[in-house]
Amino acid sequence: MIDKSLRRLVSAGLVALLLAGCAAPQGVVERLPDGQEPSELLSQAENQSGTEAARTRLQAADILARQGDNAQAIQIVKEIDASLLTPAERVERALLLSYLGLAQQDGRLVIEATSLLEGNIEIPRKDALTLRYRRGLALGMVGEPLPATKTLIGVQKDDPGFELNDEIWQQLTRLRGSSLQELANTQDPAVQGWLALLELQRRNSSDIARLFERIEEWRSTYPNHPAARRLPGDLQALRELRGRDVRHIAVFLPESGPLANVAKALREGIQARHMSALDQGEQTPQLSFYDTTGVDMQALYARAQMEGAQVVIGPLDKEQVSRLEVRNDVPLPTLALNYGTAPTNHAEGLFQYGLSAEDEARQVAQRAWRDGHRSAGMLVPDNPWGSRVSETFRQAWQELGGNVASLIRYNPEASVANAVKPLLNVRGERAQRNMDMLFLLALPSYARQVPPMLKFYYAGGLPIYATSHLYEGRPQPRVDHDLNNVMFVEIPWIIPDAAVGGEEALPYLDSYRKLRSDEEPALFKLKAMGVDAYELGRKLPLLMSLPGSEIYGATGTLSVGTDSRIHRELPWAQFSGGVPQPPLHNNASDPDPAGERATPDTAPPSEAPDTTGAGRSSDGA
């Protein structure tokens, strides 16, 4: 997200305000001897008193920042005792540190720097606006869209010349459920205008002509709103898509064979969403279903083209997708319902979508890092699925700067103690391994035994982050109580209370109500995937024209990666009382003392990972 935010800093009026406070005190810098190097200043500081040394180090950090050596500049600024500086110098330190934090994509550093706003210190108005603006960006970077939205709207109100529509919209579109309700309780015309614009965008995003009719009505209600003068860039870009609505979708699914049941669930989801859209008066495409069983794909494309299809949803079979992704292009824009086996997707116009466990692993790494963890333990099954997902987590974690303290590939049919003891490097009865979080990839029966086993070895306070696979998909307080405090991701339709504050706030609520039943949750997930596939299919022109676009769907917030694969961002939940609940701000530690010993189950049931079910692997099916 920071890449997008930094690019937007070049908009008119923003650069001057940002750069006005990015460096160390101008009066101090002007007094520096010509050609003095940072190394000379740092050596000089070694022989100075506390206050003088702090000022000299701030000068050195300023020069390093101007030279582009951000990492060393940050190290120096963080070591400066701000209490030794004058109030004006403390402001300059905050401006420099917050600038460096943005440049290094370190939101927490920016938040630390801008904490000066909360102190009893006089800050010039221009500098205060700059710090507040950067704080808003940083809150968005660390996954706090609600305070980010409030902060940025506040800056815009205090200085209408501050062009923040794009930044506000970016954070606003990430709000769901209770966060939206909390913002709606703010009796502020500017906030109400933003929320009204968001609601009509979400209700009409599939019918662009109707969307802009509603926007004109919105403008007449909020004529003085900042967005009435200039719509956010993402909305403005939609104008170019008017007249390019998808009117006919071909759906390529097998009607027999090993994937027939998966295809049936996907088809139910597609049709349910189509009927709901019709009932709500939306402009909907014609749907034509084609059996892919034993059929040549080129011939199937030719038939679909001849019958007027503009977009294809499917195929589902991994081998068929793999053959498509090595081509230069596909005959029609295509949303495959699986991922191919090639390292990259070469085919222009081919998008790939599935319930990828790899997406979840990347999200776990990002969340754990944002929560302040730096050293990870990994507990993953010893099979191809576990290898793929664990490698994704490891890469994402190490790219962020994290360390892997311990990686154990366990046998799902063996005792959990056989995995936890080497994970923790248990000596005697206590853990010796140095880690501050655990990445857990496990199915429910295995996962439920991990927290008690950690407690048994006096490591019960270790925060656990998991993928959706540890949850069976329905509340079971009695059997899931041992998972209390475990954090995990899951699709909104499975955890409506934790994800959005209740069913009423779910995306595609009518379809949810039609499809929800007491059957196997894995099939319900596939139906949710079908709902999202329908929406993605009719919005392919949007995704092709605006790669940064996001769709808030039944299976998560969906966006297109540079590889033309659909990436999902899922809501977080935390077990409390054995039931998924909204997570606490930052991962709460186990309420039981870390040293309190709990006896684990002595006979854990065997468990073999399902690498073929939806959501159980990157296959999606």
Q: Could you read off the pLDDT of 341-354 as tens digits, one per residue?
A: 998 899 999 999 99
∠ CA 265-260-503, nearest 5°, is: 10
Q: What is the largest CA-CA distance in the chain?
A: 83
The proportion of the chain whose per-residue pLDDT surpasses 90, expressed as a percent, equals: 59
Q: What is the pLDDT of residue 574?
A: 96
Note the Cα 222 to chain centre separation in Å.
31
User: What is the DSSP-derived secondary structure letter of residue 465?
Assistant: E
Which of these, 27, 141, 25, lies nearest to 94 by C-alpha position?
A: 25
CA distance 433 to 378: 12
Indicate the pTM of the whole model: 0.76
Which of these, 221, 156, 158, lies nearest to 193 by C-alpha position?
A: 221
**Does 120 or 300 have the greater pLDDT score?**
300
236: confidence class by pLDDT, cuts 50, 70, 90? confident
CB 505 within 8 A of CB 554: no
| 435-462: pLDDT as tens digits | 999 999 999 999 999 999 999 998 999 9
Average pLDDT rounded to a whole number, residues 367-371: 91
CA distance 396 to 400: 6
In this predicted structure, which of 175-189, 233-247, 367-381 has the lowest mean pLDDT?
233-247
Average pLDDT rounded to a whole number, residues 331-358: 94
CB 126 within 8 A of CB 158: no
What separation in angstroms does the CA of 261 have from each of 137, 165, 253, 474? 45, 46, 11, 21
DSSP string, 343-376: SS---EEEEE----HHHHHHHHHHHHHHTT--EE
Which of these, 446, 377, 438, 379, lies nearest to 409 by C-alpha position?
A: 379
Q: Is the pLDDT reported for residue 289 higher than 70? A: yes
Which of these, 196, 242, 190, lies nearest to 215 by C-alpha position?
A: 196
| 259-275: pLDDT as tens digits | 999 999 999 999 999 99
162: confidence class by pLDDT, cuts 50, 70, 90? low
Q: Is the pLDDT reported for residue 85 higher than 80? A: yes
| 111-151: pLDDT as tens digits | 999 999 998 889 999 999 999 999 999 999 887 899 999 99
CA distance 6 to 99: 11
Average pLDDT rounded to a whole number, residues 145-171: 89
Nearest 10 degrees: CA dihedral of 603, 604, 606, 608? -170
SS3 state at 173: coil
Q: What is the pLDDT of residue 36?
A: 72
Q: What is the pLDDT of residue 161?
A: 67
Which of these, 326, 334, 314, lies nearest to 270 by C-alpha position?
A: 314
| 286-311 CB burial, b ≥16 within 10 A, e <16 | ebbbbebeeeebeebbeebeeeebbb
25: confidence class by pLDDT, cuts 50, 70, 90? very low
What separation in angstroms does the CA of 500 have from each of 236, 474, 493, 522, 583? 28, 16, 10, 21, 12
**Does 266 or 588 have the greater pLDDT score?**
266
| 195-218: pLDDT as tens digits | 999 988 887 777 778 888 899 999
Please give the mean pLDDT across all residues of the chain. Answer: 85
User: What is the DSSP-derived secondary structure letter of residue 241?
Assistant: G
**Does 266 or 19 have the greater pLDDT score?**
266
Q: What is the pLDDT of residue 338?
A: 96
Q: What is the pLDDT of residue 35?
A: 57
CA quadruple 128, 134, 136, 142: dihedral positive or negative? negative
Residue keyed to tokens 């790899």: 358
Q: What is the pLDDT of residue 464?
A: 98
CA distance 83 to 113: 14
Sequence-distant (≥ 6) Cβ neighbours of residue 502 within 8 angstroms: 177, 496
Q: What is the pLDDT of residue 300?
A: 97
Q: Is the pLDDT reported for residue 14 higher than 60? A: no
| 598-615: pLDDT as tens digits | 333 322 222 322 322 333
CB 400 within 8 A of CB 375: no
CA distance 290 to 299: 11
What separation in angstroms does the CA of 418 have from each of 387, 411, 415? 19, 9, 5
CB 469 within 8 A of CB 616: yes
CA distance 318 to 231: 41
| 375-431: pLDDT as tens digits | 999 999 999 999 999 999 999 999 999 999 999 999 999 999 999 999 998 887 777
Note the Cα 43 to chain centre separation in Å.
44
Q: What is the pLDDT of residue 243?
A: 67
CB 619 within 8 A of CB 338: yes
Average pLDDT rounded to a whole number, residues 170-189: 85
In this predicted structure, which of 225-239, 300-314, 330-344 has the lowest mean pLDDT?
225-239
CA distance 350 to 334: 5
**Tokens linked to 278:** 């019709």
CB 617 within 8 A of CB 391: no
Q: What is the pLDDT of residue 466?
A: 98
